[in-house]
Structure 1
Amino acid sequence: MDKFVESSWFVRIVALLLTILLYISVNFGDFQLTQKADDSAQTNSEVITDVPVQAYYDTENLFVSGVPDKVKVELKGPKSIIESTKRLRDFELFIDLTNTSIGKHRVPIKYKQLSDKLKVTVIPETVDVTIEEKVSDYFVVSPEFNDNMLAEGYQEEAVSVDPKRVKVTGSKAALNKIVYVKATLDVKEKVDKETTGTAKVQVLDGDLNKLDVKIEPETVQVSISVKNPSKKIALRFFPKGTPPKGIKIRSIKPETEEITIYGKESILRDMEELVVPVEVDSIKKDTTLTVPIEIGEGLNFVSPQLVKVKVTVEGSPEGEPEKKNGE
């Protein structure tokens, strides 16, 4: 074995193996570099949505309308740079109006802090803006509430708003168009008690179009108080159905002849009595019944809900002897 290791053939074999390993190592590294270069050179494309736009102008004296809140940006270039840009979002889209005169203009949306290795397309590339002298005024807010959100039988008593006035800033032309400044309270459940919630202020023209103005504050507190009107009305009972043969209903007398009923005033206004049916199909003798008082649409409660009635009869069912009084 020692002789083989010391032989010239052993040295030649080891040298050959080292040469092969060195060749593979060098060429594999070149292959990886080539592959990375190919990957970085490959062009990818992606659209980023909801990118805010900043407008630069004299905010103290001018009002600008037409600037979109958000736009789209298409990026083309190496995938790694696109992914990094999407993740960091450290770039800015802006409109420079610092040296633009009052009036209507079509201006480009510019960008900064984007890699020069990317091809950037803003969608849209330009926008139409109007620059006007800025004016401000205070307007009274009208609180509103949808009556359909009231619980059955309840009605609106009062609606209030806090603050009562808001500051509206915009162009003189826009403020001259203002007809409505309102805040509508939106609720998820039917209202049967005093309720307060946050409502967004809307500034509208005579055709209910939203005007491009700035509102301070943008939201207000709207409160609604409700009431559940009531009225005392008479009860009247009548027999429903047909008693057994030989039986005649002589009278139906309730334990109470008056009830209190709750509901909308528009319904209660025309109600003077409530007519309640009493089932007499199976009545064969003088009987006291407990009758439930049912109410209709627009009403939500009645007191009492159950009334005892005494049903007095004459005669006896066929086939049965008639009982005399006291028997």
Structure 2
Amino acid sequence: MSEKSNQGHDHSMKRGLKNRHMQMIALGASVGTGLFYGSAPTIKLVGPGIIASYALAGLFIFFVMRMLGEMAVREPVSGSFSHFANKYWNGFMGYLAGWNYWTLFMLAGMAELAAIAVYLAYWFPDIPHWLTTLICLVIITAINLINVKAYGEVEFWASFIKIGAIVSMILFGFYLIFTTMGSFPHNFHNLWDNGGFFPNGSWGFLCSLAVVMFSFGGVDLIGITAGEAENPENSLPTAINELLLRILIFYIGTMVVLMSLAPWDKVGLEASPFVQIFEEIGIPAASNILNLVVLVAALSVFNSILYSNSRM
């Protein structure tokens, strides 16, 4: 009786996520406000050493996802690690893992909504934050209530925008570093000037790891989408195996550019560091575009949080 019940549960989820959805979700899942907005306070903790923080944390994340991927390919279910803990450990651990995840991402979702209000205030400073938060909450909830394909399509295009913007920023950033355009004459000297690579010592480096690990929140979404992927045995291994490369390009590449262009102790907390740098260049349109990108990133992360929590 129990086996039949479990079989019925396995087939209750429609596999509506195509391979292109899975690949873009995997690409975009690890890119959110932790990179665009949350990097500013982390830089204050560790300075240019944030590059090493992302490298070390990224390595740990890759190993964890390899382990999760092995189980998800063998048994692609939406419950992911909560299901595996329940099946291979005991019921309490599965219960604890699931509710811990749900609670954590409910709190993270509220943080994303707060970030969305900040980004919108860049253009509409007179609109109350609670109103923009409510509007975004209603829109994202409506998308998730349609079907899983609607979620996958929205994430596909949101990830496309995020990844395109990050690659463009990295390429343009290196162009600024190696040319005389703008007010960035120091090339890579900002990485070791102003107190060195670790201006706050080992304590600042250790403290930064907690914030940096939070920035990687979302990579676990790859395991949760396994229950609704059309061909999980093909799409999951590809998505997970490319995770380390994405971390090297998106996080470490971005931080190298950011730390080279701006002294670490002058990165402000009131707006995205990327927006501030492009404003310094004197290209106001670029800062507006970047603000749009970080807004899309925050909306995308909250969309994924709503999706993953409903499955968990």
TM-score bucket (shorter structure)? under 0.3
Query: Which is higher, the Rg of structure 1 or of structure 2?
Result: 1
Structure with higher RCO (Cα < 8 A, 6+ apart):
2
TM-score by structure 2 length? 0.18
**Greater share of strand residues, 1 or 2?**
1
